Structure 1
Amino acid sequence: MDWEKRYARRAERMRASEIRELLKLLDQPDIISFAGGIPDPALFPASAFADAYRDVLGAETAGTALQYSVSEGYAPLRAWIVARMAEIGVPCGIDNILITSGSQQGLDYLGKLFLSPDDTALVTWPTYLGALQAFNSYEPRYDRLNPDGGNMTPAAYRDAAAAAGGSVKFAYLTPDFANPTGETIDRTQREGVLDLAEALDIPVIEDTAYLPLRYDGAAPPSILALDIARTGSIDASRTIFCGSFSKTLAPGLRLGWICAAEPLIRKLVLIKQASDLNTPTINQMVMHRVADAVYATQVPRLVAAYRAKRDAMLAALERHMPAGVSWTRPEGGMFVWVTLPEGFDGAALLARAVESARVAFVPGRAFFADGSGANTIRLNFSMPPVDRIDEGIARLAGVIRDSRP
């Protein structure tokens, strides 16, 4: 059977995740890995999860935990999220919340809902690789979303999309501690994104996976909060807020959520029903119990631990990197974005770094919709121990010095 001849056209744009492949390096104990954008498992509230699983599998709730459930999600967990959204200035109700199997599923659903072949998605340059993978299946083209404004007018975006055979369907960005750059856009830039979306009459997808992990500075309002201030209510807003428990409590339960206008949530529920019926009930019940019990103390614990790791990485970069190398200084999140001198290729550098120095990172090219950014790399600081960060950066700096083109 020649399987390639039988696949739909969209399969041509499905590619293996460079990050998923690099995670295999974590099994090699001599590798210092800055590759995976993953939480430190030592910080998981494991005992709280163990207690919660025992609780929900007790005689009174086991039947519910192990049964099918409504596609919208477990009501008490959605109510907890409603309260959390209120804390960040987003008044909403339970009908504005859909539970997803990780925020990645939410991105896939949004791509499926909005994108037809040759439609345009506006994304930052660079942007989250997982978003590109989720959207690629629906055969879009990409145009550059510049939160600073740039020289692209709404008319120019419209004309370029029409010339490609489609229309502009949405703008996607991670406004807080972005993956991969670690950068945060300010309030003026957020307002500018909303202005552009209003002019184009498109939704804004606000990916907030790292939002709680702020180490310095004051938090600007979320784009959804700014949108509601303009429109008067969440049901009149155009912003779609994608949240996650993966970076704060644990990624293994695969739980995220979408908060948006109720008509959009109702449409996404139909996709959920056709996809997996419902996110596992037992995981939702457990997450509700754990979030209710430890979220308020867990987030400050993470912030303290990850701040120390970020500071260690920034100090190591300052100490060891040769002239001509620059990097971001994130106020939160999990990543530092490094720009190498022109002529470097991050993928080739990775091969040399793993072979000769036993240190890993993610080449930057994968985060650019147009395949540019060869001289960039992404470093993760949340996973490696503090005492190995300096050693790993020193090794990497040595490879960079020896690899100048």
Structure 2
Amino acid sequence: MIIDKSGTTPLYIQIREDLRESIASGALAPGDRLPAVTALAAERGVTPATIRRALSDLVDENLIYTHVGRGTFVGENPDRSAGKPSATPFRQESSGKAARRLAQNVQASLLEMLSLAQKPSVIAFTRGVGNLDSVEQDILARMTKQALAHGEEGYWDYGDPKGILSLRKAIARQYSRRGLVISPEQILVTNGSQQATALIAQQTAENGNRVLCETPCYTGGTNAFSAFNVPIETVTRDQDGPLPDRFASGDDQDAVFYLCPILHNPMGTDCSSERRKAVTDWARQNHALILSDEVFHDLHFEEDGVPHSFLDEPGPERVAVMGSLSKSFIAGLRVGWIISSEERIRTLTRIKKTMDLGCPPLIQGIAREFLDTEYESHRHKVSALYRERRDRTLSALARHMPDGVTWTRPQGGFQLWVTLPAPYSSVALFLRGIDNGVAFLPGPLQDINNRFVSSFRLCYGSLAPEIIETGIERLAKTVKHYLSRPPSENGLTGLGDF
């Protein structure tokens, strides 16, 4: 088989279709054993991860099956018409794809339910956004004026698709204050960190890499991979980080692991040094990529206690770090970035050019002015604001919540994770809470498989301290009433496992 590495068709799709045609033509007969993944990869000049992605699709279609310890075989009754036009518009959907579709429908239903939190009478601990009280009213006007003072004509053209050089230098200076030496050529400016994740997701889909993601997690990240039909394996985490047992495996060559190691969303805690070492060792052993979401880094309350970036260890060759001004400044500015090796940044820049040719230069100029002139003072101001709200939230929880309910203690940012005694449901509690004028984010919305039913996220960043106090009182009253009855008698129907 000849692989077209310069074409637009992803490598794994080329390999998948070649194998599909071999099965359809009879060149691969029922019961035939396929060569090992490493042999197929060497034969076709691709990575083992690309082969695994191609085989995964064929398993989903029941054309092949895998027997642990023996290998991969052609199915006994493969569809010989595979790849040919069907006489019927319907086709049998694989169990794997059907399960993913069902999970997406569950997520959509839960998100629709979340719209109830928009009632004016409801105190909503749902929004993962910053507090606009920390932003001076005329700051955008001042930053725009300063940016234009450097020459309006500099913003007339598209600009460098990597991002204007002066902004990339300003970002590099921010990291130098953390002791990291970063070149502007290692930085790609993006429309928020969400686009940074999408760029990595598209590259991952094209290469056929395996993807792991900690859970619970920020599902905007996992949604970016799902949009490119990339299968995701979840790795459970607790308040200290992803559980280390999963990283003892040596069979994750070229995999990608997405995590939020600093002020984790939704838990608000840092990944411990022991867990970080397990992830670092795994990445080195498997030639894997750590996709580190560090957008909350500058909202840490204890500057001396901020964990080192993965850029420090294992370094840019094995790491892509995402940053943003959305959490620490203004979400509407939509300025984010990704830092990695120069080679990876060049590849991601080519992908980004097909999306938008680059971020708006004037917006980048405004961000540069802010980083160079006011960011440090603003960061200290907003950190103090969130610390006050964190302390008010923790104090209210300690005073009002009944025994058996636990929560994390954030080291920064504006969110924490609450857990009810199992098997009480945060979804059932949410519906009760709406009636009592309080809302939060149920745990199943923080996991692609809709688990963590007994947990929920509280975001306090956008609420005034006195509103936080009232909201926690309402929440605790709702929890006490809910826990006073057996979980099977929640008085609600149609929730299924939720």
TM-score (norm. length: structure 1)? 0.87
Matched, 1:93 2:183: yes
Query: Residue 247 of structure 2 contacts residue 279 of structure 2 at CA under 8 Å; is this kept in 1?
Result: no
Query: Residue 163 of structure 2 contacts residue 189 of structure 2 at CA under 8 Å; is this kept in 1?
Result: yes
SS of the residue 1:223 aligns to: coil
- Which of the pair has the greater relative contact order for Cα pairs under 8 Å at 6+ separation? 1
* 2:26 alignment counterpart: none
Change (3 A) 1:274 1:177: same
1:301, 1:20 → 2: CA distance?
Answer: 35
1:257, 1:20 → 2: CA distance?
Answer: 31
* 1:247 alignment counterpart: 327
Matched, 1:102 2:187: no
Match of 1:37 among 115, 128, 142: 128
Aligned residue type for 2:171? I
* 1:231 alignment counterpart: none
* 2:391 alignment counterpart: 311
1:23, 1:243 → 2: CA distance?
Answer: 29
Match of 2:445 among 337, 346, 366: 366
Matched, 1:194 2:273: no
SS of the residue 2:374 aligns to: helix
Match of 1:48 among 135, 139, 154: 139
SS of the residue 2:258 aligns to: strand
Alignment root-mean-square deviation, CA: 2.6
* 1:62 alignment counterpart: 152
The aligned runs of 1:3-402 (5 Å cut-off) are: 22=114, 25=117, 28-57=119-148, 61-115=151-205, 120-139=210-229, 140-144=231-235, 147=241, 149-155=243-249, 158=252, 169-216=255-302, 218-228=305-315, 234=316, 237-354=317-434, 356-402=435-481
1:116 Cα deviation after fit:
5.6
* 2:62 alignment counterpart: none
1:17, 1:115 → 2: CA distance?
Answer: 27
1:392 Cα deviation after fit:
0.4
1:56 Cα deviation after fit:
3.7
1:70, 1:24 → 2: CA distance?
Answer: 43
Query: Residue 326 of structure 1 contacts residue 339 of structure 1 at CA under 8 Å; is this kept in 2?
Result: yes
2:115, 2:187 → 1: CA distance?
Answer: 32
1:89, 1:367 → 2: CA distance?
Answer: 33
Deviations 1:47-89 (A, max 9, x none): 221112234456x733332431211001111000111111122
1:222 Cα deviation after fit:
1.2
1:145 Cα deviation after fit:
5.9
Larger Rg: 2
1:392, 1:37 → 2: CA distance?
Answer: 16
Change (3 A) 1:21 1:215: farther
Query: Residue 19 of structure 1 contacts residue 36 of structure 1 at CA under 8 Å; is this kept in 2?
Result: no
Aligned length: 381
Q: Which runs of 5+ in 1 are unaligned?
A: 159-166, 229-233
* 2:33 alignment counterpart: none
Aligned residue type for 1:175? P
Deviations 1:232-284 (A, max 9, x none): xx4xx311110001111211110000011000000000111000111111110
* 2:40 alignment counterpart: none
Change (3 A) 1:322 1:243: same
1:153 Cα deviation after fit:
4.9
Change (3 A) 1:118 1:274: closer
Query: Residue 235 of structure 2 contacts residue 242 of structure 2 at CA under 8 Å; is this kept in 1?
Result: no
1:21 Cα deviation after fit:
8.0
Change (3 A) 1:119 1:348: farther
Change (3 A) 1:43 1:286: same
Deviations 1:201-255 (A, max 9, x none): 1100111111011124612211111223xxxxx4xx3111100011112111100
SS of the residue 2:268 aligns to: coil
Deviations 1:263-307 (A, max 9, x none): 000000011100011111111011111221110100000111100
2:180, 2:160 → 1: CA distance?
Answer: 24
Change (3 A) 1:261 1:118: closer
Aligned residue type for 1:120? R
1:190 Cα deviation after fit:
1.4
Q: Which runs of 5+ in 2 are unaligned?
A: 1-88, 91-96, 488-498
SS of the residue 1:143 aligns to: strand
1:150, 1:181 → 2: CA distance?
Answer: 18
Aligned residue type for 1:152? R
* 1:163 alignment counterpart: none
SS of the residue 1:226 aligns to: coil
